[in-house]
Amino acid sequence: MSHKVRDQEESNRQTIYLNDRTQNQFIHKKFYNHIKTSKYTWWNFVPKALILQFMRAANFYFLISTVVQCIDIISPLAPFSAVGPLILVLAVSLSREAIEDYKRHRNDDLVNEQKSFIFNNKNFTSIMWKDIQLGDIIKVNQEQILPADIMVIATNEENGTGFVETANLDGERNLKSKISHEIVNKYGREHSLIKFKGKIVCDKPNNRIHSFKGLLYLDDESKPIVLNNNNVMLRGTTLKNTEWVIGVVIYSGQDTKIMRNQGQVKHKSTHIEKKVNPIIFITLLVQLGLCLIMAILLSIFQKNTNPLENSKWNYAYLYGNSSDGLYSYEVQGTINFFTYFLLLNSLIPISLIISMEVVKLFQSSFMEYDAEMHYLEDGQVQKMKVLNTMIHEELGKIDYVFTDKVTSLQLLENLFD
């Protein structure tokens, strides 16, 4: 094997020391189990949210109109008539973004502050999920969700077998079996975990939920132990038909498989917004065309009625004045173009955007307080949570149905019955 290939393989691997926080903190930059699904922080909310808002065609149009209307030479209207509505639109949009992101922060806190059990070289003690670190030995009981990606050390079964439900990962309800390596399984008793020392050399964090390769080097064993995906339980899966499982954390926080597959929170557009944007663009082209035609006609009229050339006509109020007298026809034509642009900006009403934002806020509130949308969890009634008001009108829409031949025939029979 060449040095280049060997270096590339080593760069794609990471080393985790078993139950040794000091060593893992020294090696790894991200070793905590804290997760974050929110888009903003307190210091980047305003600039980031404003950039996101002006990426929308309508808001960018109104921004250009506001800037043009603030130029005294061009604008026949008061600047506040454009600035006021734009500020109102942005205030509604930013308020909605702030409320949504606050809910994400609250959900992140609820998840990060859940309790788990960690081995402290004597026994298992309670700890919050966010404080779990790489290399920690944790214990998860039946029906609990795994707080991190772990390599299975032992379960309540003598052969080290455990079962998990992976619905949160791949949508499948059938249980998947995981098993501890036969050599590792002997460390499953709590008093033996003190001797569980060594390191794991495995793949760097990635989003491949069905793939894992690693080597376990135990201080008490002379040969490395080969690990694969059957020896790993992932964060987000639920322990089923197994009283407890003990494992060592191999990926934590944002580096877990489920978080790597989630990626960054992206701006999503609905069908309504995708239909509105082309309409706004076409309306803008019509508006620009009308402005160009009227600016040309007014320039021709001004040229034929110039008071300096023909004293019979005196329409001085139609002309712009510079320090040297009248503007040139080219400059005056340009000014006329932008003046008509402002006079015709009602072709794209700003009230449309305000109405859409307000309707989305009210719709999301109705959905959260709708009693038919409530559900039971641990014997308590829980309200539905709307984390993104941009796309709630997409709920219930079906674009594709994947099915087999038998189901298709049954659907057709029910359709024509």
271-304, pLDDT tens digit by residue? 777 788 888 889 889 999 999 998 888 877 777 7
Neighbours of 342 (CB within 10 A): 20
Residues carrying an active site annotation? 404
Encode pLDDT of 372-383 as tens digits: 888 877 677 888
Range among 4-8, 184-188, 252-256 rated most confident = 252-256
Q: State mean pLDDT over 183-189.
A: 78
Q: State mean pLDDT over 174-191.
A: 82
Domains of the chain: 12-33+132-262 (2.70.150.10), 269-348 (no CATH)
Q: State mean pLDDT over 173-199.
A: 83
228 touches 204 (CB < 8 A) = no
Q: State mean pLDDT over 97-105.
A: 87
326 touches 319 (CB < 8 A) = yes
Encode pLDDT of 312-362 as tens digits: 555 555 555 444 445 566 777 788 888 888 888 888 887 777 787 778 778
In whole angstroms, what is the distance from residue 94 CA to residue 98 CA?
Answer: 6
Q: Is the pLDDT of residue 144 over 80?
A: yes
User: So what's the pLDDT on residue 306?
Assistant: 59
Sequence-separated (6 or more) residues with CB below 8 Å from residue 399: none
The structure's pTM equals 0.74
What is the radius of gyration, based on Cα positions, of the chain? Answer: 32
Q: For all residues of the chain together, what is the average pLDDT? A: 81
User: So what's the pLDDT on residue 263?
Assistant: 62
Encode pLDDT of 33-80 as tens digits: 999 888 888 888 989 888 888 888 788 888 888 888 888 777 777 777
Token representation of residue 302: 């001004």
User: So what's the pLDDT on residue 325?
Assistant: 46
Q: Is the pLDDT of residue 366 over 50?
A: yes
Residue whose pair of structure tokens reads 């110039």 in the numeric block: 306
Q: Is the pLDDT of residue 402 over 70?
A: no
User: So what's the pLDDT on residue 324?
Assistant: 44
- pLDDT over 90, % of the chain: 29
In whole angstroms, what is the distance from residue 72 CA to residue 320 CA?
Answer: 11
Higher pLDDT among residues 215 and 358, named by residue: 215
Encode pLDDT of 20-31 as tens digits: 888 888 888 778
User: What DSSP letter does each residue of 29-43 carry, written as one string?
Assistant: S--B------S--TT
